[in-house]
Amino acid sequence: MQVIKARNVHEALPEALRYLLLYGVEEDSRNGKVLRAPQPVTTLYERPRERVIFWPQRDANPFFHFYESLWMLAGRRDVASLTRFVKRMQTFSDDGETFYGAYGNRWRKAFGNDQLMWIIKHLRDDPTCRRQVLQMWHSSLDLVDQVGLKDIPCNLVAHFQINMGALDMTVFNRSNDIVWGCYGANAVHFSILQEFIAAFVGVEVGMYWQVSDNWHAYLPTLETVKDIANAAPDPPYSSPFSPYRDNLPIFPLVQRTSLEIWLEDLEMFMEVEDAALGYRDSFFRKVAVPMVRTHNAFKQNEREQKYEAALREAKLIQAPDWRLAAEQWIERRKARWLKAQDDGVSYDD
C-alpha cells in the first residue's frame, strides 16, 4: 500500500503524478491504455476543506466541481443539470437522461432512506459511534446486473467517525482515475460531503483518507499533465506552490443555519438558482449564486464580451479560493481566444 500524505488536493497531485510516472505499470483497460500503480494507494488530506485545484495544466473546471457537489448533496441524478457545465457528461449516462450510479442519489434516496440524515443523527446521539457507513455500491444491482452498464459506482462506501472532536472520513474506491477522479472531482465532492456532515453534527472537519484499489491514469490524459510532477516535493515533505500557503481563507459551507433551513436553501438553489431572493444561509447568497452567475455570463455572451462579463461576475464570489479558480479558468480561455484572433483561427470554448 502506497500512502500519499498531503496538506490538500492541489499539493497531492504533483506527488501522485511523480509516483505514477516512476512506478506505474502500463496495461490495457476497457477505455484504453492506462498507467496503473503496482499496489493500492491511500491519499491522506490533512486539510480537506482546501479542496480547489489551481494547476493550469490540469485546467480543472471550478464551476462544474462546485455545482456537482451541491447536486450530489441534493440527491439528484438528472443529466441535464450537469451538461450545461460539461457537455460530454451525457456520454456517461446509460439512458441520456439520468445517471444510474449517481452518488448523491444513492446517499439520500436510492436505498429507501436518507443515509446522510441517519449518519448525522447517530453521530449527534453518540459521538463515539464507529458504525456510520455510507453505502454507494449496491450488490444486487451493481454486481449482478453490471454487464453493459456505463455508470457503475467507483466509490463504494465512506466511513465517518469523530476523533479528538473532529470528523474523519475514509472513502473506499475500487477504480480511480487520478486526474479526473481522485485528485479532481472526488476530492471536491467528498470533502464537501464531509464538511456538510461535520457542520450538522456540530464538530470540526478532520482528516480525509481516500483508499484507491486500482489507481491509474489514461495515457493521453497523463501526457497533458505530467509536467505537474516536476512540482512534487523534493526532498519529500517540502511544499509545492499553493495559493493556500498564503493563508487563503475558506468560506464555510454552513453558516449558523439549521439542517432543515440549509436543505431548503439547497433545494431552492437547485430549482431556481439566482432567480431566488430568499436564501437564508449566506453560503448560497455569497458563493453558490455568484458562481452560477459567473458561469452563466461566460456561456450567454459572445466573443470578448463573454470573458469580460464573466470576470465582472466572478468578483462577487466571496469564497476566495473559488473566486481565484474561477478567474484563472476564465483568463486561460480569454488568452486562448485572443491568441486565436491573432492567428486568424476560429475559437470557441
pLDDT reported for residue 277? 74
pLDDT reported for residue 191? 99
CA distance 208 to 171: 8
CB atoms inside a 10 Å sphere around CB 150: 12
pLDDT reported for residue 93? 84
pLDDT reported for residue 69? 99
Q: Which domains does the chain have, with CATH numbers?
A: 2-245 (3.30.572.10), 259-343 (no CATH)
Which residues are catalytic, by number? Answer: 154
C-alpha cell at 28: 490495457
C-alpha cell at 267: 433545494
Regions of the chain with pLDDT less than 70: 234-240, 276, 342-349
Position 85: which residue type? F
CA distance 195 to 206: 9
The DSSP line for 47-62 is -TT------TTT---H
Q: Extract the runs of DSSP E, i.e. beta strands, from the chain.
A: 2-6, 25-27, 34-36, 41-45, 132-135, 155-163, 166-177, 204-218
> Minimal CA–CA distance to 51: which of 325, 316, 273?
325
* Backbone phi, psi, residue 132, to 5°: -90, 90
Position 145: which residue type? D
pLDDT reported for residue 348? 61
- Residue 267's SS3 state is helix
pLDDT tens digits, one per residue of 295-335: 999 999 888 899 999 999 999 999 999 999 999 999 999 99
pLDDT reported for residue 99? 92
Angle between helices 320-343 and 289-300 in degrees, nearest 10:
10
pLDDT reported for residue 23? 98
CA distance 192 to 66: 9
| Burial group, residue 310, by CB count within 10 angstroms (0-12, 13-18, 19+) | buried
CA distance 104 to 259: 17
Q: Which residues contact 344 (CB under 8 A, 6 or more apart)?
A: none
| Burial group, residue 277, by CB count within 10 angstroms (0-12, 13-18, 19+) | exposed
* Backbone phi, psi, residue 120, to 5°: -60, -45
